[in-house]
Structure 1
């Protein structure tokens, strides 16, 4: 489907996949809504694109993936990909900053920046949809269950602490904030997962994640506590 208002991404993906699999593609673009409706009615389908190979209808993009024996992602499947992306990018930014500031990668400041930058990125992901985050967060955080507004404050506190730690400024604010929210978070996660044995989704990367509550969220909170203690001792 290719109109002035919409270009179907799955059509482009199907065409690309067929090309990579060595097929010559005879592409029929549907230029209007009426053409699309007529096509779907003719073939008894509810979506486009539809791929035909040798006169046989294979189906949509996901059907084409299955036809070639490729994995079809399930949007509800547990995935650590968002967390891996956050920590990998935070680490690279910290190393880049260390190289720029000190001319070397292996510095204590790089380690500090890694934790602080991770906090900022995680906070940003929560703040994309604060209501969605709060809904998931309220499922396990002990303070938020008693004081609901805390679910809305938490991401701002995490972001503020991370930013101040990167700057090395107002640490008398950043340290207690990180220590308090990190400690409460760690206790809440530990109780929900390891004592109550509840199977929940982690709100650490926002309210729309499929990351299971457990080690990742516990690590996030313990990192905040460790950073706060380190800077306090420092």
Structure 2
């Protein structure tokens, strides 16, 4: 089923892996972390234990690079039974610093889409993660000028969206969310009566994956962001 775009006045964009590359850098860092831990466990075991640690710490640290780094350090201590070297801990910290300072790489077509929609719709960024890190990435991206509002949420559940739309005085039937995650960008919006467009990224964090039984068909799926112009400029 396709989305009815006639009533749309406000468009929300996810940031990571919708506007710019993000998950790729996490995967690269995970690879390096597994190499650092190869003297203690296999890569598969290191990956599994790191993910478990991230999930255990998610409620405490939230989403983002800083929580990821803390989970890597804690995993290193656990996997090594406390024997991991100071040099290795320092290298893990450096991995995180490199992630934070990495140049922002816009995905194809992002600025073209935003520049063509900004005068017709109210555009907002709705992302989750570390506030400072997300603000920094948006500033470095060069696309902040297109957005009327930026919101960094602690999570993207139905209540988060509902509260924000109420605060911004946006009617849910006039709102469209665009993002790469079915779990965070599509399903919660559909569940509160809004519209959503799914633009998959080639890499998805395991925490953002959903079972086939949870998927819904009443949203639009696009291969690339530029394709949204076919629907929003008619």
TM-score by length of 2: 0.24
Q: TM-score, normalised by structure 1?
A: 0.24
Greater C-alpha radius of gyration:
1
Q: Which has the higher contact order (CA 8 A, sep 6+)?
A: 2
